[in-house]
């Protein structure tokens, strides 16, 4: 399988960047986008050239590190699938594949396909955690949690923080990411005590770097964890709750 790759190359954040064209002659339909980059880098190294920088870790769709833009779409053409699971069967022999970083004003390019997603980390640091004494594991067993509620919390907790939702949004919004964290933590007993404080802090931090929700729903279509659009509504719900209940809740 022969594929022509147009790959973004950028030496550092100050570089303007450009596309380079390369051909991979021995790709197979079973390969992932990340494995395609592996094969390209093997060829570049063999020729004494600089390999393409990109992020990758677990390659099991869990870590969220592998996100790139493929043919103008975060992660690739298959919906709700991370880059490491996007198979080359989506392309035909002889086609061209364009690979570039996740594009967002909140994600400055570090090098080639690597971007700085620390703006998402700052949101989590602001309040995406439980800071109170929650007890030990046996203590948790003494607090009953409805099964359906626990399953819903786990569904929202599935967010892997890849940041594709931001890159897919025309406004560069992070509402799907923030809403998933707020819903997950507000649903369970251990996270309810700090609910208002958490919402204020995370939403305020989000608005420092990210735009308003576009309401188009592209974020949910590319999310590898399948976080539903209900997470976006949670941002406004938690914001309104703080206003109605006061700053001390």
| Distance, CA of 51 to CA of 30 (rounded, Å) | 22
pLDDT for 247 equals: 57
Is the pLDDT at 137 greater than 60, yes or no?
yes
- CB burial class (10 A; 0-12, 13-18, 19+) of residue 107? buried
Go through the domains of the chain in sequence order and give each one's CATH number.
Answer: 3-111 (3.10.20.30), 117-245 (1.10.1060.10)
Strand partners, 158: none
**Stated pTM of the model:** 0.93
pLDDT of 249? 60
Closest CA to 194 of 143, 242, 244: 242
Q: What is the DSSP string of 203-243?
A: HHHHHHH-B---SS-HHHHH-TT---THHHHHHHHHHHHHH
Q: Which two tokens stand for residue 167?
A: 């890159």
pLDDT digits 0-9 by tens, 44-81: 999 999 999 999 999 999 999 999 999 999 999 999 99
Other Cβ atoms within 10 Å of 130 Cβ, number: 16
- Rounded Cα–Cα distance for residues 201 and 213 (Å): 18
pLDDT of residue 149: 94
What is the CA angle 105-109-112, rounded to 5? 145
d(CA 54, CA 52): 6
pLDDT in tens, 225-247: 999 999 999 999 999 999 888 75
Instruction: Give the span between the Cα atoms of 116 and 8, in whole angstroms.
Output: 16
Residue (of 192, 193, 36) closest to 113 by Cα position: 36
């Amino acid at each position: 399988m022969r594929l022509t790759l147009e790959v973004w190359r950028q030496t550092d954040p100050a570089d303007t960047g450009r596309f380079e064209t390369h051909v991979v002659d021995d790709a197979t339909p079973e390969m992932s986008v990340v494995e395609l980059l592996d094969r390209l880098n093997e060829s570049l190294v063999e020729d004494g050239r600089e390999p393409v920088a990109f992020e990758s870790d677990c390659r099991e769709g869990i870590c969220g590190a592998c996100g790139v833009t493929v043919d103008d779409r975060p992660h690739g053409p298959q919906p709700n699938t991370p880059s490491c699971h996007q198979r080359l069967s989506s392309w035909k022999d002889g086609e061209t594949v364009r690979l570039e970083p996740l594009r967002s004003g909140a994600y400055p390019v570090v090098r080639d396909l690597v971007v700085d997603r620390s703006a998402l980390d700052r949101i989590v640091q602001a309040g995406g955690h439980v800071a109170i004494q929650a007890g030990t594991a046996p203590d948790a067993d003494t607090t009953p949690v409805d099964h359906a509620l626990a399953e819903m919390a786990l569904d929202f907790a599935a967010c892997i923080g890849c940041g594709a939702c931001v890159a897919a949004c025309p406004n560069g919004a992070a509402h799907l990411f923030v809403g998933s964290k707020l819903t997950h933590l507000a649903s369970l007993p251990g996270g309810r005590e700090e609910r208002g404080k958490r919402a204020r802090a995370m939403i305020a931090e989000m608005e420092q770097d990210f735009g308003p929700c576009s309401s188009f729903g592209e974020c949910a279509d590319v999310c590898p964890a399948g976080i539903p659009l209900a997470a976006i509504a949670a941002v406004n719900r938690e914001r309104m709750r703080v206003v109605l209940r006061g700053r001390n809740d």
